[in-house]
Structure 1
Amino acid sequence: MSVLDLVPVRQDQTTGDALAATRSLAQVADRHGYRRYWLAEHHNMPAVAATNPPVLIAMVAAATERIRVGSGGVMLPNHAPLVVAEQFALLEAAHPGRIDLGIGRAPGTDPVTSYALRHGAGGVEADAVARFPQYVDDVISLMSPDGVGIRVGGDVHPLHATPHAVSAPDVWLLGSSDYSARLAAERGLPYVFAHHFSGRGTAAALDLYRTGYTPSAAHPQPRTFLTVNVVVAPTHAEAERLALPNLASMVALRSGGPLAPQLLVEQAEASGIADAHRGLADEMRQRWVVGTPDTVAAQIAALAAEYDVDEVMVHPVAGAVTGTPANRAPAREATLAWLAEAFGQQVA
């Protein structure tokens, strides 16, 4: 079991408060034996502070002891491959054996912000997306101890992401369609389907990945896991209540509504879901795992068996009630603690 964190920002939080809450949540995951802790990349969203995975990874890795820390993921077309390679090579050097580089192809933001990111990196969006497979190869090669050689003016110039690498981060491809499944299979890389976000086509994408897999030296067998939104509470009714703020945020995102910092539970209860969006909310909620510790653990085990994965990455989406300390997310922390306890063991 592992953890995905978007670093949500509530109505009662500053960015600094949200970061402090993430640091505490990661420490809970570390103490309870979760395998890895991944941080997303999203831009220009009032309810999400996960704008820069390498910075967040450095913060979380320094605040924890044993858990693997990584990106879920870096949206590679937004960045120059050398910059990403340099960032993650340094993270691996600082925390050897604990860093994952999850790579995605989506923009992680709105079209205007996407243009600002990609134009600033020296390209245009269409070029960056089209060159994604080459960017993946470049990052992996640059992070390797041997680096790469670039031919300029008839001479070969050595290029390394870091002066003396002795190890490299694990590289995963992420996706919510079959594109990354095919690419991961071709390259012999681990692959993750964004079940928590898409929920459609999971089985088909994983089957495509496994059946088309080409073994690589680093990964002779296909390797994949499942992501899922989770809320755990002492009663099912309380778990459903705690799920409301994130559900309201997702409805606003998917319906083109105004984006704002995440509501508190009481605010989400008072606002409710508009009738026009009730079908959308119900469809999304059906893909979440919400309930008591034992029922959630049973559903997660069933999902793992259904999709034949060795690992499940939970995205704890429980909201906060009025009066919650601004620098903590107690219901998210409790979700991880109760889930670990329900499995009756350290879950790594």
Structure 2
Amino acid sequence: MNASTPAPPALSVLDLVPVRTDQTSPQAIAASRRLAQTADAAGMVRYWVAEHHNMAAVAATNPPVLIALLAGATERIRVGSGGVMLPNHAPLAVAEQFALLEASFPGRIDLGLGRAPGSDPVTSFALRHGGPAGTDDEGVARFAEHVGNVVAMMAPDGVEVAIGPRRHALRATPRAVSVPQLWLLGSSDYSARLAAQQGLPYVFAHHFSGEGTERALELYRSTFQPSELLEAPRTFLTVNASVAATAEEAHRLALPQLLAMLALRTGGPMGPQPLVEDAEERVAAGLPDAHRDVLDGMARRWVIDEPEAAREQIAALAERFGVDEVMVHPVAGALRGTPSDAAPAREEALRLLADRA
């Protein structure tokens, strides 16, 4: 490494537990378990799973359940949520779930909290109807309060709740000896401000669009207020990545996820993730010029390349945004004939990125 080459950042993984056209939910979960084991063996820092509901291409509906499964299948890597959508849940339920996970896997659990619905309006209503948030607006309005409640209830001393003349102790677990590491997630200025005000670690969803990251991180760092949980700002970067032996193969493998994101951006049908050959056939059949522009624009913002170039791009992104950790969302698709309970191209992408030689 020469003097002008940025130092390689630590690497972590974000997993949405994608479901391909050749997979069932059990097979998709088995593939993610193998991917987490690959990340663990490669020395990566953390492995986060998302919360999305009622989506044909995503099996990550319940982060705490997946975290228990993945933490039990790995040895040292931190496992967490990227993230739990707090307006969908009672703060005490989230605090209890993650306090129990931390008690089971001490020092290895992260709790990333977000305020997006993670679903369509109908599913969001079904999740929240009669629940703590009541409505989307109420859940968002009370998000800051609920974040504070989760933090307090997971603490060993818990909180005291006043009901009439009496005060009642409320703890997420009876005798905690450690707590999960809590992160605030977001894709807006609101989340950056809130994380800074509450003195929490913060992650901006750079992998969503690649836009607004500088502003959000600067806002977070410049307004950060130290807390008992954190003395100085702490953040990292998220990025979509497809890495293969050649740049051409990496682009080929990224095509299924690119088409899925194209459908999301343009209001197209959202089905299971196609296999690489099926995605190629769709593109060969022709896309509207406007859609091709969107596809090309997304590809330019992702890391899609051969290993050395991909590692250099990730190091450059880390230097640009002033972070020492990058969380990659491995977006490499599967070829026809791939075992349905595995995602070998995603596994290989992690191994290639982790190879510092």
Q: Identify the TM-score tier after normalising by the shorter chain.
A: over 0.9
Say which SS state the counterpart of residue 312 (structure 2) adopts.
helix
Letter in 2 for 1:321: L
- Structure 1 residues 133-142 or 111-120, which shifts more? 111-120
**Partner Cα separation in structure 1 for residue 202 and residue 348 of structure 2:** 29
CA offset at residue 277 of structure 1? 1.1
Q: Determine the structure 2 residue equivalent to 1:137.
A: 148
Equivalent position SS for 1:244: helix
The CA distance in 1 between the partners of 2:109 and 2:27, in whole Å, is: 25
DSSP-derived class of the 1:197 partner: helix
Q: Partner residue of 1:317?
A: 331
For 2:311, the equivalent position in structure 1 comes to 297
1:97 aligned partner: 107
Give 3-state SS (helix, strand or coil) of 1:150's partner. Answer: strand
Match of 1:221 in 2: 232
Question: Is structure 2 residue 242 aligned with structure 1 residue 231?
Answer: yes
Query: For residues 349 and 237 of structure 2, what CA distance do their matches in structure 1 show?
Result: 18
2:173 and 2:200 mapped to 1: Cα distance? Answer: 22
Aligned equivalent of 1:23, options 23, 29, 33: 33
Change (3 A) 1:200 1:161: same
Residues 1:79 and 2:89 aligned together:
yes
Q: Deviations over 1:18-71 (max 9, x none)?
A: 000000000000001000000000011000000000000000000000000000
Is 1:278 the counterpart of 2:292 in the alignment? yes
Q: Which of 169, 172, 188 lines up with 2:199 in the alignment?
A: 188
Alpha-carbon displacement from aligned partner over 1:163-203 (angstroms, at most 9, x marks no partner): 11111101000001111100000011000000001311100
- Residue 5 of structure 2 corresponds to none
Matched with 1:111 is: 121
Q: Within 2, Cα distance between the matches of 1:105 and 1:49?
A: 20
Give the SS at the match of 2:314: helix
Query: 1:265, 1:124 → 2: CA distance?
Result: 40
Other-structure match for 1:261: 272
Q: Structure 1: how far apart are the matches of 2:226 and 2:172?
A: 26
1:120–1:62 Cα change, 3 Å? farther
How far off is 1:218 after superposition? 2.2
| Structure 1: unaligned runs, 5 residues or longer | none
Give the RMSD, CA atoms, in angstroms: 0.8
Aligned to 2:320: 306
Query: How many Å apart are 1:120 and its aligned residue?
Result: 4.2
Letter in 2 for 1:138: N
Paired with 2:157 and 2:297, the residues of 1 have a C-alpha distance of 48
1:65 corresponds in structure 2 to: 75
Distance 2:334 2:325 in 1: 27
Q: Which runs of 4+ in 1 moved over 2 A?
A: none
Amino acid at match of 1:209: Y
Contact between 1:176 and 1:198, CA under 8 Å: does it hold in 2? no
Deviations 1:125-180 (A, max 9, x none): 11111000000000000111011111112210111111111111010000011111
> For structure 1, which segment, 266-275 or 297-306, has the greater mean C-alpha deviation from structure 2 after superposition?
266-275
CA displacement at 1:281 relative to structure 2: 1.3
- Give the alignment of 1:38-53 within 5 angstroms: 38-53=48-63
Q: CA deviation at 1:255?
A: 1.1
Q: Please report the TM-score for the alignment, with normalisation by the length of structure 2.
A: 0.95
Q: 1:94-147 CA distances to partner (integer Å, 9 max, x unpaired)?
A: 000000000001111111111111214241111111000000000000111011
Give the residue type in structure 1 aligned to 2:159.
V
Report the AA paired with residue 61 of structure 1.
A
Question: Number of residues paired by the alignment?
Answer: 343
User: Do the aligned partners of 1:57 and 1:71 also contact (CA within 8 Å) in 2?
Assistant: yes
1:285 is matched by which residue type in structure 2? Answer: A
SS in 2 for 1:145: coil
Indicate the residue corresponding to 1:164 in structure 2.
175
For structure 2, list consecutive stretches of 5 or more residues without a partner in the other structure: 1-10
Q: Structure 2 counterpart of 1:72, which letter? A: G
Displacement after TM superposition at 1:217 (Å): 2.2
Give the CA deviation at 1:254. Answer: 1.4
Partner of 1:33: 43
Instruction: Give the whole-Å Cα distance in 1 for the aligned partners of 2:36 and 2:182.
Output: 21
Q: Which residue of 1 aligns with 2:3?
A: none
1:173 and 2:187 are equivalent in the alignment: no
TM-score, structure 1 as length reference: 0.97
Report the equivalent of 2:4.
none
